[in-house]
Amino acid sequence: MKKRILLLLCLILTAMPLPGFAKTAEEWIHHIDLNMNYMTAEYTSTMTVHHPNGQERVYRMQGKVQGDDYALMEFLEPPRDRGTRYLKREKNLWIYFPRQDRTLQIQGHMLRECVQGSDLSYEDLTESSQLIEKYTSLIVSETDSTVTICLEAKEMTVSYPFQLLQIDKTSGIPLKIVYSGVGNTPIKEMEILQTQRIGKRLFPVVMEIRSLLVENKWTRLEFEDIEFGMEFPLDTFTKEGLER
């Protein structure tokens, strides 16, 4: 009888959230960084852009990413954009247009322009950076199932000086992220609709980004296939590789 009571007490104590084991804001963000960032990745994805007038455009693309500085992305569909490629090297971006056999260079704040009228910038699609390196974090609210954390950039030169993350406590994955500019003015929000176990990661594979500045404008990004940890040939992220 005593053994049963002791076992029952152990089970109850194990299930109780003990204050000493509560995660700090930094620990939650570190967990997100470990799960969602990578050294190298290769993917195929579909981007659906919904415009305020109700029209939708669908783009299919494949990409390769190496850290925060190198990325190569190519449009596969629609036919008029097929073969258009983007090469990012550090803070520079080149776009290759196969029909004109012409390459255009983009620098600085132009990297924050939207891709194909979507709610995603060139930086959004070509970066994999650590939040904990760029932001300070603070828990602003908490429920039994979620924790909400405010991120404030250490330097206001980043694309989104403020972010508000609602994180699922069970998975450690953000359910929703609100991106804000200088003055903490909301610009857009991203909702993660589906995750998938890829190796040791629980990675977002379907997400919807909604503009908070333009009514009825949103973008859905779906990863058809994504792999991590591969090695790329040395000439992958070069202008030669872009125009090949």
Helical (H) or strand (E) element with 28? helix 25-36
pTM: 0.84
| pLDDT for res 113 | 81
Cβ neighbours for 241, distance < 8 A, ≥ 6 positions apart: 72, 87, 235
Q: Cα(148)–Cα(225) distance, rounded to whole angstroms? A: 30
| pLDDT for res 91 | 80
| pLDDT for res 90 | 83
Task: Name the β-bridge partners of 162.
Answer: 152, 180
**For 241, which DSSP code?**
H
| pLDDT for res 6 | 39
Q: Cα(173)–Cα(175) distance, rounded to whole angstroms? A: 6
| pLDDT for res 14 | 39
Angstrom distances, CA of residue 93 to CA of 103, 181, 241: 10, 22, 14
Q: Cα(143)–Cα(137) distance, rounded to whole angstroms? A: 18
Token pair belonging to 91: 């803070």
Q: Of the candidates 166, 157, 155, 219, which has an alpha carbon nearest to the alpha carbon of residue 188? A: 219
Q: What is the Cβ-side half-sphere exposure of residue 40, based on CA atoms within 13 angstroms?
A: 7
For the chain, the helix, strand and coil percentages under 3-state DSSP, each to the nearest 5: 20, 45, 30
pLDDT tens series, the chain, 244 aa: 544 443 443 444 334 443 335 799 999 999 999 888 888 999 999 999 999 999 999 999 999 999 888 999 999 999 999 999 999 988 888 999 998 999 999 876 777 788 888 999 887 877 667 899 999 999 999 999 999 999 999 998 888 999 999 999 999 999 999 999 999 999 999 999 999 999 888 999 999 999 999 999 999 999 999 999 999 998 999 988 888 7
Walk me through the domains of the chain, giving residue ranges and CATH numbers: 31-243 (2.50.20.10)
Q: Is 14 exposed, middle or buried (0-12, 13-18, 19+ CB in 10 A)?
A: exposed
Q: Which residue has the tokens 């007490």?
A: 9
- Whether the ω angle into residue 78 lies within 30 degrees of 0, i.e. cis, is yes
| pLDDT for res 128 | 64
Q: Cα(175)–Cα(185) distance, rounded to whole angstroms? A: 20
